[in-house]
A and B are shown apart, each in its own frame.
Chain A
Amino acid sequence: MKVTFPHMGNTYIVAKAMLDDLGVDYIIPQFNNKKALELGTRYAPELACLPLKINLGNFIQAYEKGADTILITGGCGPCRFGYYCEMHKEILRDIGYDMNVITLEITKKNKRELIENIKCLASGLNPYRITRTIINTTEVAKMVDNLEKMTYKVRPREINKGETDRIYKVFRSKVLNTNGSENIKKLIKDTGKKLLEIKKDEHFKPLKIGIVGEIYTTIDSYSSFNIDIKLGNMGVEVDRKVTVSGWIIEHMIKKALHLKRDLRYVDAAKPYLGAMIGGHAQETVGNTVLYAKDDYDGIIQIYPLTCMPEIVAQSILPNIEKDYGIPILTLIIDEMTGEAGYMTRLEAFVDLLEKRRERKTVGEENLLYGN
């Protein structure tokens, strides 16, 4: 059994740590690339959402490197992601890639199957070993997210431009050759130290932009055209509340153990969106309100074309924009999105935010231009 899994931003580090600890043989697909998207687009239904297509490309590329088993998570709707596992299975079977799909989820039908699969992955049902792996994996996830957050803070403030990117890039490839959660944690710590050593302009006050939207396209830098890095290099500090570790801790562990979850976004979303409607719509709406209250300069919503929950959120955002006076830009991504057009919009948005801030601090009458 050679396991593979889909890419989503830095999740490969988390999955790698887990599979290393369990001693499972695995293959990490190539980082998301044009070829993967092309393969996915060829075989997936035309109107399916972007993550399904990229994931399909990941699996095909991993298959060519020898993988035979896919490890993904599931869900019970109403977002399409919950049925990805079955779609992948059917598509791959029909195009002749014979791969086994293991879905880590609990449904009515699959309890026995799930236990069998865990037994197979963890070579036995040793509760100590499984709990330890879960704890270590979660810790790695948290550390990876914190590291990423640190780059968000350092990047706009660095004096020698490009230093953060260099360190971060080295980390992302170095981690591929680092085995086991302990070593990975050490590497993350070292990288964090290096980031702290970067020379920063402490007086610089960057613009602050909150990124909201569908989880895959906000987390995965390939599909968002590295929006976080690009903004950072334009001198903008970004923040993203939906993270992989947040998802593991809030949605999987706390839900399974019935612990109290951090539901601030639900309260914030209430006046606009009264219920959970699937996907991350409630997070998008709620976090937008929270960012607005936190005095952020702007919000960017990102989602893949035809994403059902985010369309609902998008139709609500203009009212938050009006109520809180915060500019919101919505970027929709599909396989046809061109980078140049995307960058133009991003730059224009940042320019707009800068002018707004100037007007606030300098006062309207002191501007040399305008009407």
Chain B
Amino acid sequence: MIKKIGIPRALSYYQFYPLYKTFFEELGAEVVVSDATSRKILDQGVKICVDEACLPVKLFHGHVMYLKDKVDYLFIPRLTSISENEYICPKFGGLPDMVRNTIDGLPEIIDVEINLRKRSKNIYKSAFEIGGIFTNNKKKIRAALNKAMKIYRDYCTHMQEGALASDILDKKFAVIRKQEKDMLNIVLIGHAYNIYDKFINMDTVNKLRKENVNIITIDMIDDDVINANAEELHKSMFWYFGRKAVGGVMDIIKREDIDGIIYMMAFGCGVDSFICDMVQRRVRSAGNIPFITITLDEHSGEAGMDTRLEAFIDMIKWRKKDESYIPAHG
């Protein structure tokens, strides 16, 4: 019988889904992804998860609830580190334990640790451990991982070329247009699971696109550029996302064609609380790029969100139109 692997559509999904999917499918498993986030999924997560957790982690619990009776295995790896000398966040490292101690009646959890902090080659160790559930053939596992890595690299390249992860994952290639004239270049910074989840950010991406905005994300900036900028920090950043965001912003503030920056943070996110502050300080000291912070939580007043986004865009547009206009009447 084909084994069904459940992958919650939350947290690392937005960054690694193509890799996960290819890897498991190459090993002959069937991949089941939870539905797109909905009110019901979020409510379930909020209800079961510990109150103090951040929104994305609560949401993750909701997706696990959705999947738990539909699959043979749940794939919740212990993602301690995905890059050398860096961590993701303590909650990623403790995620399988959090889920296991919170939700009853779970199927078996694949909670293999992925820790590339000391050595990026450790990925093979983790892959053999995960693959061992399906086959004893090491060669097959290695081939599956290599193919998955290739797909993942393509995915990254695709994003660097200007596609958003949500477009690729939802297969909406039609919306990736060539840059039109008079589009506003707005940088959208935030954890992948905040900026690409349409439900929790209340469809910010489409709202911006309707306003004729060209969205730029940190994923579109070349890694070497980010690293060169991050190198200027007095102390190396030890969060993967932190390095990308701060390094990316240091590059962005040197550019001339940026009209505005939106930082989307999740309430209760420890990493965001520091990174947002560092990003903001750098943007403010660099000059006059408009900057706004939008904090997401489980409340859902969409009108408030719309007002802030519209006001931000309007302000940028007026600024472009009127800034050099000096009225004749003084």
Binding site for A on B (CB under 8 A): 49-50, 52-54, 57, 78, 80, 85-91, 93-94, 96-98, 101-102, 111, 113, 233-239, 242, 265, 267-274, 276-278, 281
Contacts and interface: CB of A to CB of B under 8 A. Distances in A.
A80 B274 contact: yes
Contact of A316 (B87, B101, B236, B268): B101
A316 to B, nearest CB: 4
A319 B281 CA distance: 42
B277 A45 contact: yes
Nearest 8 A/B pairs, CB to CB: A77-B238, A78-B87, A312-B94, A277-B93, A47-B273, A45-B277, A315-B50, A308-B270
20 contacts: A45-B273, A47-B265, A47-B267, A48-B273, A49-B270, A76-B85, A78-B87, A78-B239, A80-B273, A83-B274, A86-B235, A90-B278, A108-B85, A273-B94, A277-B80, A306-B268, A306-B269, A306-B270, A311-B57, A315-B53
A109 interface: yes
Given A306-B273, A332-B52, A316 B97 contact: yes
Given A109-B236, A332-B52, A275 B93 contact: yes
A69 to B, nearest CB: 16
A87 interface: yes
Nearest to A273: B97
A306 B52 contact: yes
A272 interface: yes
A306 B50 CA distance: 12
A309 B274 contact: no
Given A45-B276, A277-B90, A315-B53, A78 B236 contact: no
Nearest to B86: A77
Interface residues of A, number: 46
Interface of A: 45-49, 74, 76-80, 82-83, 85-87, 89-90, 94, 103, 107-110, 272-279, 281, 305-309, 311-312, 314-316, 318-319, 332
Given A79-B90, A278-B93, A306-B273, A108 B53 contact: no
Given A48-B277, A109-B234, 8 more contacts: A45-B277, A78-B88, A107-B236, A277-B80, A277-B91, A315-B102, A318-B101, A319-B101
Contact of B235 (A47, A103, A332): A103
Given A47-B269, A275-B113, A109 B235 contact: yes
